[in-house]
Amino acid sequence: MSTTVTPPPKKVNRLGLEVLSYKGGKTTLCAGCGHNSISERIIECFYEMGVKPTQVAKFSGIGCSSKSPAYFLNMAHGFNSVHGRAPAVSTGAMLANKNLVGIVVSGDGDTVSIGLGQFMHMLRRNVPLTYIIEDNGVYGLTKGQFSATADLGAKLKTGVINDLPAIDVCLAAIELGATLVARSFSGDKRQLQAILKTCIAHNGLSIVDIVSPCVTFNDHEGSTKSYSYMKEHEEPVHEIDFVPFFEDISVEIEEGTTQEVTMHDGSILRLKKLGREYDPTDKMGALRIIHEAHSTGDVLTGILYVDSHKENFLDMLHVVDQPLATLPDTMTRPPREALNQIMEELR
Amino acid sequence: MSTTEVTPVGPHTNGHAGPVINDFSIQVATINGSGSQTANNVLMRSLFQMGIPVSGKNLFPSNIAGLPTWFTIRASQHGYIGRKKEIDFCVAMNPETAQEDAAKLDAGAAIVYDEPLKLNATRSDLHFYPVPFDKLVGPVCPEAKLRKLVRNMIYDGVVGHLLGIDFEEIRKALYKQFGPKKVKAAELNWNAVLAGREYAEKNLTKTDPFQVQRTDKTAGKIIIDGNAACALGCMFAGVTVVTWYPITPSSSLVESLIGYLKRFRIDKETGRATYAVVQAEDEIASIGMVIGAGWAGARSMTATAGPGISLMSEFIGLGYYTEVPAVIFDVQRVGPSTGLPTRTMQGDILINALCSHGDTRHPMLFPSSPEECFTLSGAAFDLAEFAQTPVFVMSDLDLGMNNWMAEAFPYPEQAIPRGKVLSAADLDRLGGFARYRDVDGDGIGYRTLPGTDHPSAAYFSRGSGHNDKAQYSEREDDYVKNVDRLSRKFETIRKHLPAPDIQSNDTASIGIICCGTSRYGAEEARDQLKNEYGIEASYYRTLAYPFHPSIHDFIERHSRIYVVDQNRDGQLLALMRLEFPVDEIAKLRSVRYYGGMPIDARTITDDILRQEGI
């Protein structure tokens, strides 16, 4: 009998990579911050989906949320840019290299206040990116001022009441052209995972508004972005199953209660309905239920809208398949005869 | 003493004994949107085709139609193509400005005008050529709504006859202007030219001395505006990502580029584009996309003007600090604020040199001609990728939007240099890298591109403090080390910039320093000083900032240096004051013009004479 103990085989994904290859640096955010849970989900999703980490590019603006790309996927290039401008930087990078898998992590101040203009135009363009808004209704890094997603009547720890209405990013996103729009809660591990995997598979712009409580400045009674408020008011519109294209599993489908959406890459999104007559491919219906939830104070979560057919921005530009960034001179510099011809025309 | 004092002379002599050949300026005063641009370009081009050096300057309002506009053509057998202050030959088509146009002329000038304006009643010391344009246009243009456009073509016929322009050249220029697809429109306009000629032949007696004569001084040359020349420079430099927001006077740079890219940058095998052009929602987004694309390895650029630069400044600081290549064309116009959007100025020198908060310095290239627009555009991309930093190309409205006579552009012979970029194979060999480490001692680190398939390829770019491994750091020593390296990089850049244009004269005690389009006024002023006053002046035109080390030697060898600026505050001079030693600064004097027109030689000559006490 041998005395050597064989260590259990290391768990790897379809690329043969361990989850370690998807980890980031140590977080510097507050203990218990919802953003840290989101980083964990991002790591799990890229690992489980078997996306090559070196193919990913991470982007952010400025704020607590925008620090988080440093806390996942160390093997991916990252760009922590300027406040509210991650849409432009990420769009530019995707123009340069269409083979990148782009993920943007922003916050409510970054996206909905200073960056609202850029955000709206990114929606129009349907740039193929996963755009996450870590939404806590306050500016954490400047110590707890209201942002534009804070609900009317929400109360700060200091007693200050928000007297302006909130901007609902999901409504804006559906209206202006994003092709996958979801809302989730940082504490809802299973739903968030399924949503993020769908975003990674989606060939267009995905917007995910994730309510992510700020434990330091906005997790008290009177806040509508606290853990306790979300536990009481989160209302999933469906249960989500995401089946990546490479998985060969069959799931029982209950007739009439489950809707399937085939994603561009062949993956399947399965949405099991929870008591509502709701079709996330119906734009008007999606807008309606979000408005209805506003009136009852509920926070609807799930994939609120999906269009898996619309052409994305890079396809519209009709660029060559290779990344523009690394095209050879022979493709980027016209020949001598071209210059001669132009000069002749100008004589 | 001013050199522009003119003793009034009779209209028939104009102070010249005989005919004035190939040396005069024509000014056409019309209304914006009346199609005069075509008539003016045809006139300019027909002179060019006769071998006469020409330049054209369009002085237009910030408006689409209905406001006064002036087009000036200068013919110069000596090859001077700067603006000439004095107008010799005026075409007054705009009733609103005609009185003033006539009043501004020096005695002895010639004026073609719409007969009902009766300009001959306003003064008697000009050569008057009344033409009944409305009567002439009817028969050649039966369609009433086209008459406004065709009417202007008539003055080409009148002026052509009076100056002795070869009508075959006018015909060629006109058909070239309309192109092969608009032959009918060309015919209509050609008939208008002929009607003008016929009227002039029968009714006008030439009394002025201005004439053209065929010569051979434009052989092989081209006519192009600076914006189109920059566009060609970008295309042949291999630009791949272009993002922009329309703003006068830079819009036509990108519009020309789009036109050329569509013709010459479609991959033959797939029919797909080897470039991406995006019209962004504002200048902040356009520079953001440029920085994102440059970070990901594209040759990326934007074109803008002063107000755009103000908006872009935060991103330009990010580009400097994260060390991302970017090329920014600034086609300068008159500021501050909206300023005079359709007038020219070198008003962004200081803001661009130091653009964004904190300690920042940015290289600038100053083209002065279409040839330099072409070559310096290429140089800007090479420099941006070599030094991994934003680079400005400092054009201006005069250069960008006016038509210039130019030498044909040289095809770039060198392979496109992409700077210090590590591949996966390099990383295998090296085992890894630190993004901001000064391995070569030149201040420039090595970078990798996103998507490089190697476990050590990634790094994290951030506008916050970082150490040489691109890790977040607030440490004093990391910060100081990093920004000192950026200073070292700026010194490396200084050694890699285009050399200045120096015309030194050993006997000269004064020197002139200028940049960009100030050259035309400055070069001609230098000749005026010598020919009219016997004053020798050396000449130094910087093509770039940071300044070439030779500028110190130039200052050293002269007693007084006149720095020519097209702005109120002497911005080029101020930039020199920021970094030059005190004894050099003491020699610097300022010559400034900031009225919105291209600076002219007389303004420079007169100001130098004044400061010299002559």
Structure confidence at residue A253 (pLDDT): 59
- Is residue B570 within 8 A of residue B590, CB to CB? The reply is yes
Report chain B residues whose CB lies below 8 A from the CB of A332.
238-240, 265, 274-275, 299, 416
* CB within 8 Å: A325 and B285: no
3-state SS, residue A239: strand
Closest-approach residue (CA) in chain A for B410: A339
* CB within 8 Å: A324 and B275: yes
Beta-strand relationship, A268-273 and A145-146:
unpaired
* CB within 8 Å: B464 and A80: yes
Report chain A residues whose CB lies below 8 A from the CB of B284.
85, 88, 118
Single-letter residue type at B494: R
Report chain A residues whose CB lies below 8 A from the CB of B457.
54, 75, 77
**Residue labelled with tokens 């609807």:** A300
Q: How far apart are the first and last CA of chain B?
A: 6
How is the beta sheet containing B23-31 ordered, strand by strand? B127-131, B110-114, B89-92, B23-31, B68-76, B54-59, B403-406, B222-225
B412 shares contact with chain A (CB less than 8 Å): yes
State the Cα angle at B395 between B394 and B396, rounded to 5°. 125
Interface of B with A in 169-228 (CB under 8 A): 220-224
Residue B473 token pair: 């750091």
* CB within 8 Å: B296 and A325: yes
* CB within 8 Å: B273 and A54: no
Closest-approach residue (CA) in chain A for B459: A77
Q: Which of the 8 DSSP states describes residue B216? A: S
B301 shares contact with chain A (CB less than 8 Å): no
pLDDT tens digit sequence for B170-205: 999 999 999 999 999 999 999 999 999 999 999 999
* CB within 8 Å: A339 and B463: no
Instruction: For chain B, count helices (H), then strands (E).
Output: 20, 24
Residue A245 token pair: 């294209």
Distances (CA, A) of B63 to B43, B69, B150, B379, B402: 24, 10, 21, 35, 17
* CB within 8 Å: A92 and B288: yes
Distances (CA, A) of A198 to A14, A34, A120, B141: 18, 21, 22, 66
A35 membership: H or E segment, kind and range: helix A34-49
* CB within 8 Å: A339 and B241: no
* CB within 8 Å: B288 and A52: no
* CB within 8 Å: A92 and B235: no
- Is residue B82 within 8 A of residue B601, CB to CB? The reply is yes
Report chain A residues whose CB lies below 8 A from the CB of B235.
334
Closest-approach residue (CA) in chain A for B268: A331
> Using CA atoms, how far apart are residues B173 and A227, in angstroms rounded to an integer?
76
Structure confidence at residue B8 (pLDDT): 38
Report chain B residues whose CB lies below 8 A from the CB of A330.
none
> Using CA atoms, how far apart are residues A137 and A166, in angstroms rounded to an integer?
9
Q: What is the ipTM for the molecules in this complex?
A: 0.95
Using only C-alpha atoms, chain B has a radius of gyration, in whole angstroms, of: 27
Residues in chain A with pLDDT values less than 70: 1-3, 248-256
* CB within 8 Å: B288 and A329: no
Of B282, B453, B463, the CB nearest to A81: B463
Of B267, B416, B459, the CB nearest to A320: B267
Report chain A residues whose CB lies below 8 A from the CB of B405.
none
Question: Best of B291, B312, B321, B447 to disrupt the A interface by mutation (most A CBs within 10 Å)?
Answer: B291
Report chain A residues whose CB lies below 8 A from the CB of B416.
329, 332-333
* CB within 8 Å: B274 and A320: yes
Q: What is the dihedral of CA B155, B157, B163, B168, to 10 degrees?
A: 140
Distances (CA, A) of B455 to A17, A72, A197, B380, B424: 11, 14, 23, 32, 9
* CB within 8 Å: A77 and B458: yes
* CB within 8 Å: A85 and B315: yes
- Is residue B29 within 8 A of residue B90, CB to CB? The reply is yes
* CB within 8 Å: A339 and B452: no
* Closest-CA distance of chain B to residue A189, Å: 27
Angle between helices B167-178 and B147-163 (to 10 degrees): 150
B281 shares contact with chain A (CB less than 8 Å): yes
Q: How many residues does chain A have?
A: 347
> Using CA atoms, how far apart are residues A140 and A44, in angstroms rounded to an integer?
26
Residue B394 token pair: 């400092």
pTM over 0.80: yes
Distances (CA, A) of B462 to A30, A232, B141, B470: 21, 38, 65, 8
Residues in chain B with pLDDT values less than 50: 1-14
Strands (E), B18-97: 20-21, 23-31, 54-59, 68-76, 89-92
B423 shares contact with chain A (CB less than 8 Å): no
- Is residue B454 within 8 A of residue B487, CB to CB? The reply is no
Closest to B527 in 3D by CA, of B519, B536, B515, B518: B536
Q: What are phi and psi for residue B109, nearest 5 degrees?
A: -75, 160
> Using CA atoms, how far apart are residues B155 and B193, in angstroms rounded to an integer?
7
Distances (CA, A) of B75 to A329, B48, B495: 41, 9, 39
> Using CA atoms, how far apart are residues A294 and B461, in angstroms rounded to an integer?
39
State the Cα angle at B328 between B349 and B282, rounded to 5°. 105
Distances (CA, A) of B264 to A223, A320, A327, B329: 59, 14, 15, 22
- Is residue A304 within 8 A of residue A182, CB to CB? The reply is yes
